[in-house]
Chain A
Amino acid sequence: MTIFEAVHQHAPMLTVLVPMLSAPIIMLFGNRQAAFAIALTASTTSFLLSLQMLLLVAQGGVISYHIGGWAPPLGIEYRIDAANAFVLIIVSSISTVVLPYARRSIADEVAARHHTLFYACYMLCFTGLLGVTATGDAFNVFVFLEISSLSTYVLVALGAKQDRRALSAAYDYLILGTIGATFFVIGLGMLYMATGSLNMVHIAQVLAEGESNRTVRSAFTFIVVGMALKFAMYPLHRWLPGAYTYAPSAVSAFLAATATKVAIYVVLRFIFSVFGIAEEFERNTVQYIMMPLAVVAMFAGSLMATFSLNAKTLLAYSSISQIGYMLLGITLLNSTGLTAGMVHLFNHALTKGALFLAVGAIIYRTGSALVPHMAGLGRQMPWTSASIVIGGLSLIGAPATAGFVSKWVLMQAAFEAGMWPIAVFVVLSSVIAVVYVWRLVEVLYLQPAPEGRSVSEVPMTMLVPIWALALASIWFGIDADFTVQASRTAAEALLAGGFGGEDATIMGTRGRP
C-alpha cells in the first residue's frame, strides 16, 4: 500500500489524529515558533483531508471508518456523510485561517510564557471539535466534546492578561459547560439502557424497531438540554457573552465560528439520525419548545447586542441571535429548513469569524474593544473597518453577502412550511441587526478620531485572514450554489435518518472484509 493509499484509507482517522498528536509535540518542543509551525501544518493537513472527504461524500455517499479494524456496532466507528463532512470543512478551514492571525494577536494579548500552551490547547480544542463531528459513536462524542470544552476553558482564561474578567468568565463557562456535558452523558446512559448500544447507527436501528418509551424520551430530553447548554440556546446562553468577550480575540473568533456550530451539529445528528423525528414526543419538543425559543433568541440576542458597550459583547449577543436563526431552520423540520440551518452554520462561521478577527485587530492597535473608542477608525484603519462593514452587512442579511443566502433559504423554508409568521419574525429581527451594525458603522466612520490617537492599519498577517473571511462571506453570498447544494445534500442525509443506512464505503479495515 502506498502512502497515498494509506492516507486516503485512513483519512477520517487522520483528520482527528494529526491535530491531536500535534498538541503533545508542541509541548515537547516548547518553542513558540516551532509551535506555530506545527499547529499550522496540522490544521492545514486536517483541512485538506476534510476537503477530500467532502468530495467523496458530496454526492450523498457515506464513509464508515472502523477504528482498529473492529467492525461496528462493537468497534468504534467514524462515520462521515455529507452533513458532518460539511461541518468538518467549517471547523478546519476556520482554524487554518485563524492560526496565522493568532500568532500576532496572542503576542499582544497572552503572556509570552503561555504561548506554547496556547497552541497546544488550541490544537486540543480543534481535535475535540473534529472528533465530535467525525465520530459515529455516541460516547465518543462525549469524550471529544470534553476534550474541546476543557481546552476551551483554558483558552478563555488566557485572556486574563488583558482583563481579569476572563477568569470568572472561564469559570462560569466551566460550570455550565460541565453541567451540559453531564446532562449529555446521562442521556447517553439512558440511551444505552434502552438499546444496549453506543453506535449511532445501531441505536437508530434499535429505536426504529422498538416502541418509544419513557427511558428513550428522557434520554432525548437530557441530550437536547445538555447540548443546548453547549450551543447557548436561549435561555441557556449565560456563559457565552462573557466567554467570547474576554477570551483572546483569536480564540473568540475560533470559538464563535466553530464551537457552537459543532454543538448544533450534534443536536442535529441526535434528533434526526439517532432518535428520528417520526415520534410525536420528539416532534413536539422540537416544534413547541425549541422553535419558540429560537424566535425569542433572535430578538433577545439582537436587542442585547444593540445595548452592548463592548464590541465583542455585541458580537457575542449577535451570535446568540444568529444561533436562533440556525435553530429556527432546523425546527421547521423540512428539508429546506434544515438546509437553511446548515447553510447558516457555514455562512455565520465566515461572518462572525471575520468580525471577531476585525475587532481583535482593533484591540491590537487601540487596546480597547469599547464601541465609543472606535471613533474615527474608518480613516485610520480603513481595511479593518471595511471588513467590519462587510461582516455587519452579512449579519443583517444584505444581498451579496453570505447572510442573505441563509435568510433567503430560511424564509423560503418558512413559507414552504406554511408558517409565514416565522418569516415575518426573521425579517423583523434582522431590522434590529441593522440597528446594532449601524451603531458600529456610525462610530467608525462618522465620528472624528480623538485628539492625539493615531493608529495605523494592522500588519498583513492579521489583515489577510480577516479579509479571507470577509471576501469569502461576499463570495458565498453571490455564488451560493456550492453551499446551498452541499447543505441540501447534508439536510437530506439527515432527514433520511439512520446515519446513511447500510450502504457505506468501509475504510480502515486494512483489507479485512
Chain B
Amino acid sequence: MHDVEALFEDMRGAIPAGPVKIKEAADSGKKVVGCYCAYTPFEVIRAAGAVPVSLCSTSDKPIAAGEEHLPRNLCPLIKSSYGFALTDTCPYFHFCDLVIGETTCDGKKKMYELLDRLRPTHVMQLPQTYFGADALNVWRAEIERLARRLEAELGVTITEDGLRREIKKRNEERRVMQDFYELSKPDPPLLSGRELHLVNEFFKVSFGDARAMDTIRELETKLRENWEAGERRVPAGRRRIVVTGCPTGKSLEKVFDAIEENGGVIVAFENCGGLKPNYEPADETLPPYEALAVKYLGIPCSCMSPNTKRLDLLETLAGEYKADGVVDIILQACHTYSVESFLVRERLTGGKRSVPYIPVETDYSQSDTEQLSTRMGAFMEMIA
C-alpha cells in the first residue's frame, strides 16, 4: 500500500517540476510548441521533432491582467490563458516557440488575434460539425497546413513514417489512460476522483516520456493488487458521479472537493483533460493525415453543432460507470456548454434509466466554495 502512496507522491511532485523539464528540453535545442486545446494534433508536432505542451489556462491569478485587454464577461479560461501570456507567468508559454490555437469559440478565436502579438500563434480553422465529408476535408487540410507551418517555423520535414510512428505512440498513451480509467468502474472505485484528477494532470506533464506512462501503468497494477488484497481506498456507499462540461484544472478542484466531501465519489471525468479526448484512438490503418482528421474532428466538444456524440458518450459512461448522478461544470460565459446543458439534462433524465443531473456554473475564483458545497451536498441528499 505504501507503494501506491509513493507513486501518488511522485506524480504530485512531477506537476510543479514540469516547467524544469521543458526548460531543459529547450536548453538542449528542442523546439517547444504551446497548445491550449484537445483539438491540437500532438502527433504532428511530435513528428516535427518538437515537444507539445499544454499552456497554463486554469488559474484565477492572471485574469485581472487579462481583463486589461479582454472584456470582463468572457469565459475565465480565455482570460486566464491570455493573462498568463501577457504577464509572462506561464513557464510553458515562456519557453514555447510557437502557439497553436483553434477556432473553438468566438472568444478564443478573437483572443488568438491578440495573442499572436505576444508569440507567433497558428490558428487552426476548426469546422463546426463532425458530420459530413466536407468538414472532414477541411479539417484534414487544416492539419496539413499546420504541418507546413511547423516545417517552415522549425526548419524540419515531417514525414509520413514519422506521423505513423507518433500516431502509434499517442494511441499507446491513450490506451494507458483508458485502461487506467477502468479502475473506477468497480463499486467502490479503486481510487477517488481527486486521485484520478491527479493522474490526468500528471499525464498532461508526461511530455511523451515513456517512463511517465510506465508510472501510470505501475500505479494501475499496484491499485489492482491492493484491491485484490482487500484494500478499499474509497468507502462503500458513496454516490458515483460522472463529471462533464468545460475543461477541468486546478481552480475547479473546488467542485471535485464539493462532490467528494459531501458523500460523492467521481468515477469519470468526461471533460477535456479526462476521457473525452482519449476514448477514441486514431485509426492506424488509414493514411496518417486522414486518421488524424477523423480522430480529432470526432472529439465531442460543445463547439460542434449538433453535438449528439457527447450525449451518446455521456449516456454510455453513465451506464458503464454505474453513475448515480452527472455533474456538468459550466464556466461562466461559456455559451456552448451552457446552452447544451438543456440537451444533456433532457437526454440523461429522460432516458430508460433516468440519471440525475445538475449543472454548476462557476469561474476560477474560490469565492463560491460554500455555495458549491451546498449545491453538491443537496444533490447528494437528493440522489441518496
Answer yes or no: do A and B interact. Answer: no
Q: Identify the A interface with B (CB < 8 A).
A: none
